[in-house]
Amino acid sequence: MPAAAEDGAQGKIVLPQQGIALTGEDRREACYLIRNAGAKAGRRAAIPEHEDNGDEARYGNRIGNYSKGLPHNSLGAVDSAAYDSLLTALDSGRHADFESIVMGASAPVFQRKLVNPQAGLAYDMEGVDSHGCPQPPAPAVASAEAAGELVENYWMALTRDVPFAEYDTHPLTQSAASDISGLSDFRGPKAAGRVTTGTLFRGFTPGDLVGPYISQFLWMPVPFGAVTYDQKMQTTLPGLDFMTSFSDWLAIQNGNTPVGASPYDVTRRYIRNGRDLSQWVHIDVLFQAYFQAAVILMGLGAPLNPGNPYAASRTQDGFGTFGPPHIATLVAEVSTRALKAVWFQKWYVHRRLRPEAMAGLVHNAKFGVAHPLHADVLTRSAVLDQIRGRYGTYLLPQAFAEGSPLHPSYGAGHATVAGACVTVLKAMFDERFVLPNPVVATPDGLSLAAYTGPDAGSLTVGGELNKLAANVGVGRNIAGVHYRSDYAESLKLGEAVAISLLRESGDTYNEPLTGLTFTKFDGTRVRV
């Protein structure tokens, strides 16, 4: 029998008995068979149907789809020829067609560029192909769900400066919870069927409703090699929001580079409110939060996942496999695969308009331009009166001067990467481990205090990693650039990418694997 072979009937790898080291020609043949079997498995996997919400076909003027960066008329409707030039490029995939997309800025020097639509055409050679994981259709622009999501976005903007620690007592957050509870189709977390100040703007995964709003992994000191640093950040000053005048809004929709930016607070602070969280997710290195979580867990000596082959070894520690370097690099590795998957969904399937653009439809509708928007946002919610009273328009106040980046809203890049990276970490560490000495930021963000709530002993690795993913994903919503379903569905997309990567890599290890078991975002258990 050869040292390694392929079972022709099943297409599976038949490797020698575990523990037999291969060298020379046998090693080369085994390497080939592993690669070949992975490629064949990918070839057998069906490419799923990718269904959009129908808005692009439903509205000839493209009001339900992303068009930022293209030219728009005085009411903010996209130029049809310019939109068609985008579709031509996406349909052909030719680089020259992408270079011929009609852009909308007042002068080339001011033009912001579309962000990397060709990434959605890239292939991946490990794990599922970037086109292999579907996302359900985004909520249609006229639906009650989309209306509910935008109402939540408006309330998030109004409450950016309210400390998370004061949500239970602040009149604005109390009003937000009451108003959102009255919506006909709101899919965020609830308690006894209602949105409360304890569930407001939180995620949907196990652990999201336990303890403080912010994950411990965004507050705890980070041991980075020989240096340990605290997580005080440079945030922006309170009360400064952008794109609240129609002229500014229209210029930004056309792709013009904004003039000015929010000035920084000279005092560094721990994340304590929505404005801080918005700024954190504005300029983060995309896998930063999860790399930091990994080194925090290593520094704590957190136990490994019980399925890790070194978790109970008498003589060995993991290092290049199933140890600290492997875990740290996996966080970065899975990120690039997650981005390719979500960029395909963004540009080639859904092309969902950003919240700032949907708010433009709301603004025009309130001033008499007919748009097919649900009554939950136009007339039933009390939030628009507050927005108009504070800003003079019905536009969605943005935390960033430039508003959203120049790529479609659904799915969300940050949330997809969050889902992928958190899944890797739950596969590598024991998610049941309770984090010691939990903390909470003071309302001014200048210090951390001991968290002594009744659930202080329930802040587990799994729950706080889930919450970390929610903080990053929902933080982009608080900034005004994404919706709730962007975060929720993209978390699941990233999870699927990570599980695929972990499973496919299983044949490459010498260690005996009994399976890494952990809890998915929907609460079910999975083994990889």
Catalytically active residues are: 407, 414
Residue 419, C-beta contacts closer than 8 angstroms, at least 6 positions apart = 338, 469, 490, 491, 492, 493, 494, 495, 497, 498, 521
d(CA 434, CA 507): 32
Quote the longest CA-to-CA distance of the chain. Answer: 80
d(CA 270, CA 216): 11
- C-alpha torsion 490→334→343→134, nearest 10: -50
CB within 8 A of 425, min separation 6: which ones?
Answer: 290, 293, 294, 297, 327, 331, 461, 465
* Torsion angle of C-alpha atoms 399, 404, 405, 411, degrees rounded to 10: 120
Q: For residue 233, list its beta bridge partners.
A: 269
- Nearest-angstrom CA–CA distance, 516 and 527: 5
Helix (H) or strand (E) holding 249: helix 246-253
Burial environment of residue 1 by CB neighbours within 10 A (0 to 12, 13 to 18, 19 or more)? exposed
**Tokens at residue 309, please?**
């082959």
Q: Give CA–CA dist 346/198, Å, rounded.
A: 32
Between the CA atoms of 387, 392, 397 and 402, what dihedral angle is there, to the nearest 10 degrees?
170
Q: Map tokens 């304890």 to a residue.
A: 198
What's the length of the chain? 528
Q: What's the token pair of residue 385?
A: 């009166």
Q: What angle do CA 461, 462, 468 make, to 5 degrees?
A: 85
Nearest to 414 by CA among 497, 318, 348, 490: 490
Determine the Cα–Cα distance for residues 424 and 294; give it in Å rounded to an integer.
Answer: 10
